[in-house]
Amino acid sequence: MLFGHTRIVTHSPLTRRRFLAGAGGLVIAGGLSGARGLAQSAPVVARGGRFAQSVASGQPTTGGITLWTKVSELERPGRMQFEIASEPDFRSVLIRRSVTPDEARDFSITTRVDSRRLKPSERYYYRFFTCDQSSPVGRFRTARPADSQEPVRIAFFSCQDYESGFYTAHAGIAQEDDLDLVVCLGDYIYERSFDPNKTRTDTTGPNGTAEVQTLGEYRKKYGLYHTDPDLLAVREQHPLYTIWDDHEVEDNYAADKPGDATQNRRIEFAERRANGYRAFFEHMPQLEIAGARDRIYGTIGLGRNADVFLLDQRQYRSDQPCDDATAPPPGSCAEQDDPARTMLGAEQKAWFKESLAGSKSAWKIVGNPLQMMSLDLVRGQPLVVDSWDGYTAERREIGEFIRERQIDNVAYLTGDIHTFFAGNVTPSGREGPGEPGAVATEFVGGAITSEGIADRQGGEQLRDQLAAALDTGSGTQNPQIKYSNQSFKGYGVLEARPSELLVQFKAPRTVRSARSSILTLQRFRVRSGVPNVEVLGPG
């Protein structure tokens, strides 16, 4: 038992004879090229090895999945195998294929499986193995068919600073039943230390520091995060898709412009960004797209009830306005309204609009790293301009496009700000007299561990009193925000049905302990065709 998650260990044993018997005449999956792809014939069979970072799956389709693992300490590098079965005991294997870990990518494996043997909306089990060692067993569910009316369930999270606490929220996600997908909305890692009230220690940088800049250091960072059994449990139990925000590279960077928080720059920013991106793909169950290096935006179709659109809001954006000021006085930052500035970049924005307009699913779910609703300190004075409040012309353009095309049921799932918010999205970002009506809804899923405003003032012991005042102020100055909770860490679970969208915010009672019960903070409903968040209560 690992903090509430039981690893799947019941399976038929692996033997060298079984490995060799399955090694000949295998059908090899295509779609990858170069040393990272699957090998049709490797000169030797891998021996030994450890699967310390376990396994993961992602990019589900009705008949396909992307599988991932990473192997270390091989006694003899060479060809390995993976197998997929319909039952956890592996006595009836559906697919068995050969793969070769890529030394140039630190012995990681990312392989695509598309097969008629995989049926829509079914659960399967998989594992990797050398001739004498086996990985933990993972499971995944294939996507629902395009005409499926079954509810679609998606968990979402962000912001998991290792030093800020334990991943007790992930224990809850791992135990969620029948999830079609888990989405990380950014800040999967933190490139340096941010939390003065550390619960755990990160020494992945030079001289025992937490700041990483080289490729080897980013690899160590992911390796550290993947020592947490609850995070590994999520990766083992559900298909995962991750989009990055800034901390996968450098705090508050914008496209090719560095952030301003790094004091000890050991390498040029362009090299650091390349290192961060490469390490990201080495550790995620996501294929790099041929001809579109480092692209993470795209669509995952989950049947008639939901299409999921994933956005990249760092790689193509204009620099933050007004030197990334905090709460610039009203009227002092005209740059934020400049129509020449972009969050998405021209190509991604055109794709996003076309995809929204072309979707036939009941709900259009948007993985959105940065908050779309305005968050004002006082009315008309945004607290941060690193979010969509700093890119108001493009926000308005997208909102008006949704209205003009009469695109119903757009819901943004958002990370970044370490706070639970839920509310309505208008083209201006604000709701109230003189503002246009809502065109979408938004659910901001808190953080797995990362400190929020209330935490930074006094830690968990004082946070609740301060958070209550902040929550009241947020609603008063921001009528578009229907719910605010700045006390707790956690995640969200969305269920898309033909007639309604149901969302729950869930949280452990504490992240300062490795074990904690999970409570439901609040439940919400959005009725089909009505972009308005209804707060239902926690019960």
pLDDT at 282: 98
What is residue 194's three-state secondary structure? coil
pLDDT at 27: 31
As a whole number, the mean pLDDT across the chain is: 90
Tokens representing residue 529 in the block: 């065709």
CATH superfamily of 152-535: Alkaline phosphatase D (PhoD) (3.60.21.70)
Residue 429 pLDDT greater than 60, yes or no: yes
User: pLDDT category, 452, cuts 50, 70, 90?
Assistant: confident
What is residue 43's three-state secondary structure? coil
- Amino acid at residue number 512: R
Dist CA 480 CA 498 (whole Å):
25
Mean pLDDT (whole number) for 372-380: 92
Mean pLDDT (whole number) for 1-21: 46
Query: 233-267 pLDDT, tens per residue?
Result: 999 999 999 999 999 999 999 999 999 767 789 99
Report pTM.
0.91
Mean pLDDT (whole number) for 135-161: 96
Dist CA 23 CA 337 (whole Å):
60
For 58, residues 6+ apart whose C-beta sits below 8 A from its C-beta are 65, 66, 68, 239, 240, 241, 284, 285, 286
Query: 473-485 pLDDT, tens per residue?
Result: 777 889 999 999 9
User: pLDDT category, 211, cuts 50, 70, 90?
Assistant: very high
Q: Which residues of 283-308 are buried (b: 16+ CB within 10 A; e: fewer)?
A: bbbbbbeeeeebebbbbbbbbbbbbb
Query: 176-207 pLDDT, tens per residue?
Result: 989 999 999 999 999 999 988 899 999 999 99
Percent of the chain exceeding pLDDT 70 equals 89
pLDDT at 460: 62
Residue 51 pLDDT greater than 90, yes or no: yes
Mean pLDDT (whole number) for 14-37: 41
Dist CA 234 CA 11 (whole Å):
20
Instruction: Return residue ranges of the chain for CATH 3.60.21.70.
Output: 152-535
User: pLDDT category, 486, cuts 50, 70, 90?
Assistant: confident
Count of Cβ atoms closer than 10 Å to residue 462 Cβ: 12
Count of Cβ atoms closer than 10 Å to residue 329 Cβ: 11
For 346, residues 6+ apart whose C-beta sits below 8 A from its C-beta are none
Count of Cβ atoms closer than 10 Å to residue 24 Cβ: 8
Q: What are phi and psi of 199, to 5 degrees?
A: -100, -35
Question: Is 107 in contact with 71 (CB distance < 8 Å)?
Answer: yes
Query: 283-322 pLDDT, tens per residue?
Result: 999 999 888 989 999 999 999 999 999 999 999 999 999 9
CATH superfamily of 16-141: Purple acid phosphatase-like, N-terminal (2.60.40.380)
Query: 104-120 pLDDT, tens per residue?
Result: 999 999 999 999 999 99
Residue 28 pLDDT greater than 80, yes or no: no
Q: At what angle do helices 269-282 and 215-225 cross, to 10 degrees?
A: 40
Question: Is 393 in contact with 344 (CB distance < 8 Å)?
Answer: no
Dist CA 230 CA 226 (whole Å):
9
Mean pLDDT (whole number) for 419-428: 97
pLDDT at 1: 30
Instruction: Return residue ranges of the chain for CATH 2.60.40.380.
Output: 16-141
Mean pLDDT (whole number) for 134-142: 98
